[in-house]
């Protein structure tokens, strides 16, 4: 099922970016794709274990929204989180080393693919329970509003999570308290193996906000500029104190739900068609080439540079030692300040 | 340059698989994403994609081969025109030799075996407040309210949220007066959405605030337990120490009176089994106040289990501007030499009443109030058992996997040779709480039960 046509796509016909910005998005999306391909490879080699959910196909979502964010804005997402971490500037080495469960990983090897965090980059996880990040995101926004710091929180979740009860609870509170939170529904059409139409009879997820008075819209998630434009609108809404905003970003995951998903619930042709006709990276690549903003050689240089970054990350993730056994017993409790009893 | 394509691991548990079918042949050009083979794993048949572009030089494992170990080279891929005929079929399977840490459990904590005749542990018996401190009479309810108010005056990032905490002044009047003093920004009525507001509270804690999340009862917190455990308790560990949830989840816990099965459960043992949580269950008003203040200041998620029946009980509370009681320090309410009774929360009412009755018969019980269940002051319990050689535990919770079960195991491990009788656990019965007054009374533990247990372990 291809993404539905949206109004935002038409808006993107007039690019809202410079050539340099466009190249940056190309670079950032390519980094995510190459990183994820490498992660898939390392999984195949047994260097990454457990669950590993790849973001390939959805790159334009996080890159477009990060382009609309400002320093200090927060983000929180589900277990399909590698793309979000790279897009907000976390170090690919630290992310890859967490995937391999090594000391150099963001969580010292104790979190894994689904559980990474960065206080420095305002990335609040990496949550493994479907939709749990939704009230957490509203809580981050609650803290921002309480502190009056003008920040917004991007709360990402999928079409599967959108059906969870706690999403409804959170919409209600977020609108009731005018929280500066952007609910980003990454609709990649499948909740694991269940297509949207097999899980709900009201498939326009963003429209559910209307029940709570929350504004929102659907966006073409294969068009990074459309995502950015919609993101800017949502950010402006939140920063103006108007409360939450819902963006339903229509996207597509090329790979299985996780590495062990044989993906029998959709045809190979469907995936192939999205890859060939709607690929977000190819879209930007063609814009750069046809607009005369970059030459084939320019793009090859970027490709090479990205390949090197990813290879370095992979090397680091193999060389970084496993965590020391003492790490088993650390970080269970934060130290309390001395009592003044 | 020719590179080997290795047999991939395609599920978390796959060690080997069947190379069911090759979809390419030698000499074919492939690009990244092309399906080159079908592989049967322990779970399903999976399509295997090429990662790089190139030409299939040599197929090393024929289709239909079963038991191909993960990481065995199965084909060689190279650039067009490259000679890859020299590639050999790998004979030895080559599982990745990751160094594992299994079998090196030398960093194990204090659960290792302990010498049977260990010396009695040193215990912290310093008084909770200076001797001679003026005291005032307060109910547990007032003490809890004062604790919150004092901490909210001290720290602007502390706020209270929950159902009916503000305008209604608290379903059990614990937050009475807070809205007037601190305003609607810091005393927040929530919709009736435990799952949602518990998660929102966790997010606020991640974001730098110090939430106090009140549940109208902990029975309703079952809707929120995913956030309490998965989101609040585990994040510090999962983030490698980068961020956690400094917050308090509080409210009445356990049986009130005649409210039936869904409103009467004691969650002490449930929460106490979770690493990353701290768990407090006070009995007296002074402890309720001092421990709640400590809980609010603690940088970890704290479960603060109150009791509706105790809310109205009055106790002497130190008349001090600021006093706290540290976690992990039990209180000995009554010294004795014949038996140790260990309890906490409302269980203390049975323990103390039983001790009085027993004293009339010449049995001197030492009564310990654990006060905090995580951390537990094991040392005070063990030191007492080494003195009395007998122990009875008292709680209202269910008997299976109770706090008493845990304490029995701990005492057996650490003071086995000191025991003159098995440790007995007085608990609620192994039934959902009934409504009928007579049945409810029997479903809880009781003073006669505690007296009987003590007589049993003292062979009277």
The domain that holds A131 is classified in CATH as 3.40.50.970
A59-65 mean pLDDT: 98
List CB contacts (< 8 A) between A332 and chain B: 236-237, 275-276
Q: What was the pLDDT predicted at B49?
A: 83
Of B200, B231, B238, the CB nearest to A110: B238
Q: What was the pLDDT predicted at A17?
A: 85
The most confident of the ranges A191-195, B114-118, B128-132, B276-280 is: B276-280
A97-103 mean pLDDT: 98
Structural domain includes residue A231:
yes
Q: What is the DSSP string of B319-367?
A: --SS----TT--EEEE--SSEEEEE-TTHHHHHHHHHHHHHHTT--EEE
Closest CA in chain A for residue B44: A262
Q: Which residues pair with B211 in a beta bridge?
A: B159
- Answer with the residue of higher pLDDT: B426 or B36: B426
Q: Using DSSP, state whether B389 is helix, strand or coil.
A: coil
Structural domain includes residue A323:
no
B86-108 mean pLDDT: 43
Of the candidate ranges A77-81, A96-100, B94-98, the one whose mean pLDDT is the lowest = B94-98
Q: Using DSSP, state whether B287 is helix, strand or coil.
A: helix
Q: What is the ipTM of this complex?
A: 0.93
Q: pLDDT confidence of B47, banded at 50, 70, 90?
A: confident
| pLDDT above 70 (res B91) | no
Q: How far apart are CA B146 and CA B177, in angstroms?
A: 10
B128 in reach of chain A (CB within 8 A)? yes
Are the Cβ atoms of A118 and B198 closer than 8 angstroms? no
| pLDDT above 60 (res A5) | no
A240 in reach of chain B (CB within 8 A)? no
- Answer with the residue of higher pLDDT: A15 or B78: B78
Q: What was the pLDDT predicted at B153?
A: 98
Closest CA in chain A for residue B235: A115
H or E stretch at B314 = strand B314-318
Q: Which residues pair with B426 in a beta bridge?
A: B394
Residue range A234-261, pLDDT digits in tens: 999 999 999 999 999 999 999 988 888 8
Closest CA in chain A for residue B71: A45
Q: How many Å lie between the alpha carbon of B47 and the closest alpha carbon of chain A?
A: 7
Structural domain includes residue A335:
no
| pLDDT above 80 (res B456) | yes
Closest CA to B52 of B76, B17, B23: B76
Of B193, B203, B231, the CB nearest to A142: B203
B204 in reach of chain A (CB within 8 A)? yes
Residue range A109-146, pLDDT digits in tens: 999 999 999 999 999 999 999 999 999 999 999 999 99
- Tally of domains in chain A: 1
B204-224 mean pLDDT: 98
H or E stretch at B144 = helix B140-154
Q: What was the pLDDT predicted at B373?
A: 98
Q: How far apart are CA A319 and CA A113, in angstroms?
A: 18
Domain ranges of chain B: 3-78, 135-318, 331-457
Q: pLDDT confidence of B104, banded at 50, 70, 90?
A: very low
List CB contacts (< 8 A) between A118 and chain B: 242
Are the Cβ atoms of B240 and A332 closer than 8 angstroms? no
Residue range B351-404, pLDDT digits in tens: 999 999 999 999 999 999 999 999 999 999 999 999 999 999 999 999 999 999
Bond before A295 cis per omega within 30 degrees: no
Are the Cβ atoms of B322 and A340 closer than 8 angstroms? yes
Residue range B219-230, pLDDT digits in tens: 999 999 999 999
Mean pLDDT of chain A: 93
Residues in chain A: 341
Q: What was the pLDDT predicted at B102?
A: 42
List CB contacts (< 8 A) between B51 and chain A: 37, 40-41
CA B356, B357, B359: angle at the middle one, nearest 5? Answer: 65
Q: pLDDT confidence of B117, banded at 50, 70, 90?
A: low
Q: Which of B151, B263, B308, B449 is catalytic?
A: B263
Q: Using DSSP, state whether B270 is helix, strand or coil.
A: helix
E-only strand ranges, B35-117: 35-40, 45-49, 54-59, 65-69, 73-78
Of the candidate ranges A216-225, B37-46, B418-427, the one whose mean pLDDT is the lowest = B37-46
List CB contacts (< 8 A) between A128 and chain B: 230
**Order of all β-strands in the sheet with B210-214:** B187-189, B158-162, B210-214, B247-252, B301-306, B278-280, B372-374
Q: What was the pLDDT predicted at A16?
A: 67
Q: How far apart are CA B200 and CA B211, in angstroms?
A: 10
Q: What percent of chain B has pLDDT over 90?
A: 78
Q: How far apart are CA A58 and CA A224, in angstroms?
A: 10
Q: What was the pLDDT predicted at A85?
A: 98
Q: What was the pLDDT predicted at B192?
A: 97
Q: Is B194 a catalytic residue?
A: yes
* Domain at B135-318, CATH from 3.30.70.20, 1.20.120.530, 3.40.50.970, 3.40.47.10: 3.40.50.970
H or E stretch at B285 = helix B285-297
CATH T-level assignment (fold) for domain B331-457: Rossmann fold (3.40.50)
Residues of B (7-26) whose Cβ lies below 8 Å from A: 8-12, 14
Q: pLDDT confidence of B147, banded at 50, 70, 90?
A: very high
Q: Which residue has the tokens 């601190």?
A: B182
Structural domain includes residue A229:
yes
Are the Cβ atoms of B200 and A76 closer than 8 angstroms? no
Written in H, E and C, the secondary structure of chain A is: CCCCCCHHHHHCCCCCCCHHHHHHHHHHHHHHHHHHHHHHHHHHCCCCCCCCCCCCCCHHHHHHHHCCCCCCCEEEECCCCHHHHHHCCCCHHHHHHHHCCCCCCCCCCCCCCCCCCECCCCEEEECCCCCCHHHHHHHHHHHHHHHCCCCCEEEEEECCHHHCHHHHHHHHHHHHCCCCEEEEEEECCEECCEEHHHHCCCCCHHHHHHHHCCEEEEEECCCHHHHHHHHHHHHHHHHCCCCCEEEEEECCCCCCCCCCCCCCCCCHHHHHHHHHHHCHHHHHHHHHHHCCCCCHHHHHHHHHHHHHHHHHHHHHHHHCCCCCHHHHHCCCCCCCCCCCC
DSSP conformational letter for B305? E
Q: pLDDT confidence of A14, banded at 50, 70, 90?
A: low
List CB contacts (< 8 A) between B162 and chain A: none
Q: How far apart are CA A251 and CA A224, in angstroms?
A: 11
B276-288 mean pLDDT: 98
Q: Is the CB of residue A99 less than 8 Å from the CB of residue A310?
A: no
Q: What percent of chain A has pLDDT over 70?
A: 94
Q: How far apart are CA A339 and CA B195, in angstroms?
A: 32
Mean pLDDT of chain B: 91
Are the Cβ atoms of B45 and A262 closer than 8 angstroms? yes
Are the Cβ atoms of A337 and B185 closer than 8 angstroms? no
Residue-number span of the structural domain to which A149 is assigned? 7-317
| pLDDT above 70 (res A330) | yes
Closest CA in chain B for residue A37: B51
B interface test, pick of A47, A50, A131, A136 with most B CB neighbours within 10 Å: A136
Q: Which residues pair with B366 in a beta bridge?
A: B340
Q: Is the CB of residue B238 less than 8 Å from the CB of residue A98?
A: no
Q: Is the CB of residue B240 less than 8 Å from the CB of residue B268?
A: no
Structural domain includes residue A339:
no
Report, in this order, helix, strand and coil percent for chain B, each rounded to 5. Answer: 30, 20, 50
Q: What was the pLDDT predicted at B2?
A: 79
Closest CA in chain A for residue B109: A329
Residues of A (298-317) whose Cβ lies below 8 Å from B: none
Q: Which residues pair with B279 in a beta bridge?
A: B303, B374
Closest CA in chain A for residue B323: A341
Residue range B178-205, pLDDT digits in tens: 999 999 999 999 999 999 999 999 999 9
pTM of the entire predicted model: 0.89
Q: Is B406 a catalytic residue?
A: no
Q: Which of B142, B150, B163, B194 is catalytic?
A: B194
Q: Is the CB of residue A243 less than 8 Å from the CB of residue A174?
A: yes
Closest CA to A182 of A138, A219, A124: A138
Of B157, B226, B243, the CB nearest to A129: B226
Of the candidate ranges A2-11, B120-129, B333-342, the one whose mean pLDDT is the lowest = A2-11
Q: Is the CB of residue B290 less than 8 Å from the CB of residue B334?
A: no
Q: How far apart are CA A46 and CA B52, in angstroms?
A: 18
B46-75 mean pLDDT: 88
Q: How far apart are CA A209 and CA A325, in angstroms?
A: 48
A36-58 mean pLDDT: 95
Q: pLDDT confidence of B86, banded at 50, 70, 90?
A: low
Closest CA to A284 of A27, A82, A87, A32: A27
- Answer with the residue of higher pLDDT: A25 or B97: A25
Architecture per CATH, B3-78 = Beta Barrel (2.40)
């Amino acid at each position: 099922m291809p993404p539905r046509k949206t109004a935002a796509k038409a808006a993107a016909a007039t690019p809202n970016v410079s050539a340099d910005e466009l190249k940056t998005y190309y670079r950032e999306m390519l980094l995510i794709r190459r990183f994820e391909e490498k992660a898939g490879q390392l999984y195949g080699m047994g260097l990454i274990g457990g669950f590993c959910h790849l973001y390939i196909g959805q790159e334009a979502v996080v890159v477009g929204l990060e382009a609309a964010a400002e320093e200090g804005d927060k983000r929180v997402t589900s277990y399909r989180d590698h793309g979000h971490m790279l897009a907000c500037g976390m170090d690919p080495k630290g992310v890859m080393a967490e995937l391999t469960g090594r000391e150099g990983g963001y969580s010292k090897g104790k979190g894994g693919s689904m559980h990474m965090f960065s206080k420095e980059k305002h990335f609040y996880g990496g949550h493994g329970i479907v939709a749990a990040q939704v009230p957490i995101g509203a809580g981050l926004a609650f803290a921002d509003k309480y502190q009056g710091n003008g920040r917004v929180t991007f709360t990402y979740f999928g079409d599967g999570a959108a059906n969870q009860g706690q999403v409804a609870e959170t919409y209600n509170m977020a609108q009731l308290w005018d929280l500066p939170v952007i609910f980003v529904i990454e609709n990649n059409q499948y909740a694991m193996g269940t297509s949207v139409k097999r899980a709900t009879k009201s498939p326009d997820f963003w429209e559910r906000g209307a029940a709570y008075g929350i504004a929102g819209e659907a966006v073409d998630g294969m068009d990074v500029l459309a995502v950015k434009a919609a993101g800017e609108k949502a950010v402006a809404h939140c920063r103006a104190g108007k409360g939450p905003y819902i963006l339903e970003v229509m996207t597509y995951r090329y790979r299985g739900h996780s590495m062990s998903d044989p993906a029998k619930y959709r045809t190979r042709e469907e995936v192939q068609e999205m890859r060939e006709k709607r690929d977000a990276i190819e879209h930007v690549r063609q814009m750069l080439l046809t607009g005369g903003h970059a030459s084939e050689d320019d793009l090859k240089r970027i490709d090479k540079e990205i390949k090197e970054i990813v290879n370095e990350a992979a090397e680091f993730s193999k060389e970084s030692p496993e965590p020391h056994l003492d790490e088993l017993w650390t970080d269970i409790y934060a130290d309390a300040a001395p009592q003044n009893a | 340059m020719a590179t080997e394509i290795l047999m991939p691991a395609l599920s978390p548990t796959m060690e080997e698989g069947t190379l069911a079918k090759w979809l390419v042949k030698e000499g074919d050009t492939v690009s990244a994403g092309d399906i080159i083979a079908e592989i049967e794993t322990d779970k399903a048949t999976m399509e295997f994609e090429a990662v790089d572009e190139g030409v299939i030089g040599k197929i090393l494992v024929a289709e239909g081969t079963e038991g191909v170990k993960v990481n065995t080279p199965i084909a060689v891929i190279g650039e067009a025109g490259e000679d890859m005929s020299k590639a050999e079929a790998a004979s030895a399977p080559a599982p990745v030799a990751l160094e594992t840490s299994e079998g090196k459990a030398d960093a194990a904590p204090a659960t290792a075996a302990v010498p049977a005749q260990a010396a009695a542990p040193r215990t912290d018996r310093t008084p909770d407040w200076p001797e001679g401190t003026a005291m005032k009479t307060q109910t547990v309810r007032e003490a809890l309210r004062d604790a919150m108010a004092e901490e909210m005056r001290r720290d602007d990032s502390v706020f209270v949220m929950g159902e009916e905490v503000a305008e209604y002044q608290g379903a059990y009047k614990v937050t009475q007066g807070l809205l007037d003093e601190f305003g609607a920004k810091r005393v927040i009525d929530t919709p009736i959405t435990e799952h949602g507001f518990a998660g929102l509270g966790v997010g606020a804690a991640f974001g730098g605030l110090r939430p106090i999340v009140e549940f109208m009862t902990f029975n309703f917190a079952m809707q929120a337990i995913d956030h309490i455990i998965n989101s609040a308790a585990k994040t510090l560990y999962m983030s490698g120490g980068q961020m956690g949830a400094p917050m308090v989840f509080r409210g009445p816990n356990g049986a009130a009176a005649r409210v039936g099965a869904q409103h009467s459960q004691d969650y002490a043992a449930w929460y106490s089994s979770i690493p990353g949580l701290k768990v407090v269950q006070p009995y007296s008003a002074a402890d309720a106040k001092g421990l709640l203040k400590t809980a609010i200041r603690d940088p970890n998620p704290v479960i603060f289990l109150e009791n509706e029946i105790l809310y109205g009980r009055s106790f002497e509370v130190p008349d001090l501007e600021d006093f706290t009681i540290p976690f992990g320090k039990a209180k000995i309410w009554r010294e004795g030499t014949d038996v140790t009774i260990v309890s906490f929360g409302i269980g203390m009412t049975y323990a103390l009443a039983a001790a009085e009755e027993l004293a009339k018969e010449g049995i001197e019980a030492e009564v310990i109030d654990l006060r905090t269940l995580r951390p537990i002051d094991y040392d005070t319990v063990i030191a007492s058992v080494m003195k009395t050689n007998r122990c009875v535990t008292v709680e209202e919770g269910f008997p299976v996997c109770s706090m008493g079960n845990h304490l029995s195991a701990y005492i057996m491990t650490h003071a086995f040779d000191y025991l003159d009788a098995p440790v007995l656990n007085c608990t609620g019965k192994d039934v959902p709480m009934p409504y009928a007054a007579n049945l409810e009374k029997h479903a809880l533990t009781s003073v006669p039960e505690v007296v009987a247990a003590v007589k049993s372990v003292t062979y009277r």
